[in-house]
Amino acid sequence: MASTIIPDQKRVGLVSLGCPKALVDSERIMTALRADGYAMSPDYAGADVVLVNTCGFLDSAKEESLDAIGEAIAENGRVIVTGCMGDEAEAIRARFPQVLAITGAHQYEAVVEAVHQAAPPTQGPFVDLIPDTDLKLTPRHYSYLKISEGCNHACSFCIIPSLRGKLASRRIDAVLREAEKLVAAGTRELLVISQDTSAYGVDIRHEERMWKGHPVRAHMTDLARELGQLRTPDGHTPWVRLHYVYPYPHVDQVIPLMAEGLLTPYLDIPFQHASPSVLRAMKRPANEAKVLERLANWRSICPDIAVRSSFVVGFPGETEADFQYLLDWLTEARLDRVGAFRFEPVQGAAANALPGHVPDEVKEERFARIMELTARISAEKLAAKIGRTLPVIIDEVGEPDEDGDTGATGRSQADAPEIDGQVFLRNVPASLKPGDFVEVEVEDADEHDLFGVISARSLA
């Protein structure tokens, strides 16, 4: 009997740039390609084609994307470009005419078709048994849960609506089904992401769907409540972390869920500035005083809530008085985690035409000042945790040192992966593994991180 020779799988290399939302796009694309019989390549040399998922939010991000395309072409030669910068196909082809195909953000079918054209699949989904889980580019124990695409805001510094379109919310039952599936497969922490999490469902009039025998609305509060009912296979409540939350009034309703332990006590809110005049120029709500009141109220309900945000310094028209207003506001707000960015003109953004552009040297000086202030606030808040016992999720376990001591790295509930601080542990048991929840006695702290040891109660 003649044997059938199965050809080698075609391999796709991937470079994924930009925000977590782009990472989710990459996961979906690679999941579709794997179902078509492709394998992932860990390097350029082994790839039949390389996919570069670009970021186009800032000019510096565009340059990073172009550098990544250039590197992929130099190392492999067969490159497909997708993502937010895909809308600038002419600029990409002008610099790299040898690119095989270019598609825009979240155009999954077009990307898959481009890969099929560049490297026709040699195996179908029936050659290998494909596990009934999506491919993940994050560690097994945490996952991003994208609930919508696009944005209805018209912030003067942002071009996201032109890149990703208006708000397009997913069905609530589809989101919850994905979340349930992820938790059942080993996810211990869900990171809810979108361009505007608070606006979830506005575009579909907060339509109701049946879930577990009862109706739920496509609304952030309903979503949060249902996610808080999930349990891991071993009975734990997974951490559920809300990102990109605009401070609409209904955000107040999720704080009690955090106090009850159903949601991780963490909010990522893109305030961007505090000065009323700068916020108006940004075309963002100017209610900074009200926000301070709400922060105080949230902390009275859930004392351990951590609030992170990002701010733009050197926005056109920002005066020294505006910047000092921001520093004073931050001093009072005492946010737990803060990122700052120097304003960059972005092609197509309305802010480019505003008067009063701030000189680069002034931007640098203001950036240094805001980072110094927020680092000091962070250090003070973390120092106050010394002596406390906090829940921590383990991200990585090291190898024993020369004394046989094994260290580990984890995160507290105040720390989202990749963007916030970490918790460094000493003398952990050999049985510890990524994804474990442990109670940690905090022994020390610096400006961004905590240091400690697993409590005896956790080891009992």
Q: What local confidence, expressed as pLDDT, does residue 125 receive?
A: 45
Query: What dihedral do alpha carbons 389, 392, 396, 398 form, nearest 10°?
Result: 10
Q: Judge whether 103 lies within some domain.
A: yes
- Do 400 and 276 fall within a single domain? no
Close Cβ partners of 214 (under 8 Å, ≥ 6 residues apart): none
- Do 234 and 368 fall within a single domain? yes
Q: What local confidence, expressed as pLDDT, does residue 1 receive?
A: 42
Q: Judge whether 131 lies within some domain.
A: no
- Do 340 and 221 fall within a single domain? yes
- Do 349 and 428 fall within a single domain? no
> Residue 40's domain is classified under what CATH number?
3.40.50.12160
- Do 430 and 375 fall within a single domain? no
Q: Judge whether 127 lies within some domain.
A: no
> Residue 436's domain is classified under what CATH number?
2.40.50.140
d(CA 248, CA 43): 44
- Do 62 and 46 fall within a single domain? yes
* Residues of each annotated binding site for [4Fe-4S] cluster: 19, 55, 84, 151, 155, 158
Close Cβ partners of 413 (under 8 Å, ≥ 6 residues apart): 239, 264, 265, 266, 304, 306, 390, 391
Question: b/e string for 240-269 if b means 16 or more Cβ within 10 A?
Answer: bbbbbbbbeeebeebbebbbeebbbbbbbb
Segments in the chain below pLDDT 50: 1-6, 124-133
Q: Judge whether 249 lies within some domain.
A: yes
d(CA 198, CA 413): 21
Q: Using only C-alpha atoms, what is the Rg of the chain?
A: 23
Half-sphere CA count of 244, side-chain side, radius 13 A: 21
Q: Which of 361, 383, 405 is the last residue of a domain?
A: 383
pLDDT tens digits for range 326-342: 999 999 999 999 999 99
- Do 410 and 372 fall within a single domain? no
Domain that holds residue 83: 11-118
Say if CB 285 and CB 322 are below 8 A apart.
no
Strands in 266-268's sheet, in edge-to-edge order, are: 142-146, 189-193, 239-242, 266-268, 306-313, 337-342
- Do 95 and 229 fall within a single domain? no
Q: Which of 320, 353, 383 is the last residue of a domain?
A: 383
* Residues of each annotated binding site: 19, 55, 84, 151, 155, 158
User: What is the separation, in whole angstroms, between the first and last Cα of the chain?
Assistant: 61
Q: What local confidence, expressed as pLDDT, does residue 20 receive?
A: 78
Q: Give me 202's structure tokens.
A: 């506005």
Classified as helix, coil or strand, 120 is coil
> Residue 201's domain is classified under what CATH number?
3.80.30.20
- Do 206 and 322 fall within a single domain? yes
Average pLDDT, the chain: 88
- Do 280 and 298 fall within a single domain? yes
Q: Judge whether 134 lies within some domain.
A: no
- Do 303 and 374 fall within a single domain? yes
Q: Judge whether 426 lies within some domain.
A: yes
- Do 374 and 401 fall within a single domain? no
Tally of structural domains, the chain: 3
Q: What local confidence, expressed as pLDDT, does residue 322 receive?
A: 97
Q: Judge whether 452 lies within some domain.
A: yes
Q: Judge whether 261 lies within some domain.
A: yes
Check residue 426 and report its DSSP letter: -
